[in-house]
Amino acid sequence: MAVYQYDVVVIGTGPAGESSALNAAKKGKRVAVVETRGVVGGNCTHMGTIPSKALRHAVKQIIEFNTNPMFRDIGEPRWFSFPRVLKRAEQVISKQVQMRTNFYARNRIDVFFGHAKFEDANTVSVKGTSGKGDETLKAKAVVIATGSRPFCPSDVDFTHPRIYNSDSILKLSHTPRTIIIYGAGVIGCEYASIFSGLGVKVDLIDTRDRLLSFLDHQISDALSYHLRNNGVVIRHNEQYDSIKGSDTGVLMTLKSGKKIRADAFLWCNGRSGNTENMGLESVGLEPNSRGQLEVDEHYSTGVANIYAAGDVIGWPSLASAAYDQGRSSTSHLLDADDFRHINSVPTGIYTIPEISSVGQTEEELTSAQVPYEVGQAFFKDTARAQITGEQVGMLKILFHRETLQLLGIHAFGDQASEIVHIGQAIMSQEGEANTLEYFVNTTFNYPTMAEAYRVAAMNGLNRVFNK
């Protein structure tokens, strides 16, 4: 059995693992990464963020073609199958793998493909998947960045050809006429948008009383409206009793007594950390019931030289946050001076239309008794949105009524996840630089979507000064 010596071993090559490994390598350390797949990228590249967002973009283009009157001059509306649209995602995945493989090569990071298992706190064995046999990696420090997978309850038969989770749905080889999506979190809402955009009739089952309740309620209500406007049936406060697949479809019985039948079923209710069969017990680590590891504010697991980052530690379970967490974890374990704790993370939800926010919501500010005011800009009133035809949505700025300090930015509509970063940048400034007046006193290109900040700021100031 071959034995290799490293300063840092990173388990997983998703956003957290990649950034962790690159950060350590750039600090002059000898680094190895372990990946269970035969290619790098992790679940983010192969099963989660990249394929679902590429799917969403393709579907959005289809919707535009089928609804824009200008395109009627060149042909009738077109129908596209799910597998055909999925090919676009596969092209993006291939490019991402090639790019990320080059990252490791350029930074001289050794990549081992196989299943990683702890022998002790400084030793990781790799059961190879490429016929090389087992290999042993000795390391001064280890970062666990194994990501997550869909939580699959034992009473649902996920081996049935009509029952899918958010990973296996990417193997769907046909386009169902009807689908049940159980779980109305971020992933469930995104897939509801994708399938309804392809003309599939969707039943979206929400175990809570409103969609994405962590969002500003006005934004959540807008999402509900647009999903319903596209034919999605949303059922709140429901729990499944049984899910049975047959040769002709799937029958879901709810605890409320309702029975819903569809051609296919998609489970999107929760995720579990990938910590099984890693030998964690041999180093004194015990995941919680969802397979997640507990860490402190420096991403240390409590075992001195073992850190964890990304989805495997739970909230916020975002690729953007995972990348920052991975980088910060190696900065701390190497005693570097560029450690940064991740606390302000923008939310990006790629429904159709998309949603993004950073900072506090109206509900949070009201509960904290903060005297805030609201500035709003509706995209339908901006020249750029009228030109592009993407007139659905709004920008909402929450600010302190007395100091004008920015407290929250909430965007709904085309390019929301891009637009929010302007507000995020100003919110991160100190003192008077972080006020609503920045948007009033700054000249924005015209016509742009960014101009919505000036419109919203003027709207907010008018409320404060009653103009």
Tell me the pLDDT tens digit for each residue of 361-416.
999 999 999 999 999 999 999 999 999 989 999 999 999 999 999 999 999 999 99
Helix (H, G, I), strand (E, B) or coil at 426: helix
Q: Tell me, what's the pLDDT at 131?
A: 60
| Whether residue 214 sits in one domain with residue 258 | yes
Render pLDDT for 248-302 as a digit per residue (tens, 0 to 9). 999 999 999 999 999 999 999 999 999 999 999 999 999 999 999 999 999 999 9
**Assigned domain for 258 exists:** yes
Mean pLDDT, rounded, of the chain: 93
| Whether residue 255 sits in one domain with residue 175 | yes
* Distance separating alpha carbons of residues 123 and 242, to the nearest angstrom: 44
| Residues 4/123, Cβ–Cβ less than 8 Å | no
Render pLDDT for 339-360 as a digit per residue (tens, 0 to 9). 988 778 999 999 999 999 999 9
Global pTM reads: 0.93
284: its two tokens: 């004194």
| Residues 422/365, Cβ–Cβ less than 8 Å | no
φ, ψ of residue 379 to 5 degrees: the values are -60, -30
* pLDDT surpassing 60 at residue 430: yes
* pLDDT surpassing 80 at residue 74: no
| Whether residue 93 sits in one domain with residue 69 | yes
| Whether residue 23 sits in one domain with residue 143 | yes
* Distance separating alpha carbons of residues 82 and 65, to the nearest angstrom: 16
Q: Which residues pair with 240 in a beta bridge?
A: 254
| Residues 171/258, Cβ–Cβ less than 8 Å | no
CATH of the domain at 371: 3.30.390.30
* pLDDT surpassing 70 at residue 467: no
**Assigned domain for 99 exists:** yes
| Whether residue 279 sits in one domain with residue 249 | no
Among 252, 269, 286, the domain-final residue is 269
CATH of the domain at 216: 3.50.50.60
| Whether residue 119 sits in one domain with residue 106 | yes
DSSP-derived pairing of the beta strands 178-182 and 201-205: parallel
* Distance separating alpha carbons of residues 28 and 16, to the nearest angstrom: 19
Q: Tell me, what's the pLDDT at 134?
A: 86
**Can you give the residue range of the structural domain that contains 258?**
163-269
* pLDDT surpassing 90 at residue 222: yes
CB proximity list for 281: less than 8 A, separation 6 or greater: none
Render pLDDT for 87-127 as a digit per residue (tens, 0 to 9). 888 899 999 999 999 999 999 999 999 999 999 999 999 99
DSSP letter (8 states) at residue 301: -
**Assigned domain for 346 exists:** no
Helix (H, G, I), strand (E, B) or coil at 394: strand
What number is the average pLDDT over the span 187-208?
96
What number is the average pLDDT over the span 303-322?
94
| Whether residue 358 sits in one domain with residue 290 | no
| Whether residue 193 sits in one domain with residue 99 | no
**Assigned domain for 344 exists:** no
User: pLDDT class for 72, splitting at 50, 70, 90?
Assistant: low
| Whether residue 104 sits in one domain with residue 69 | yes
Q: Tell me, what's the pLDDT at 160?
A: 97
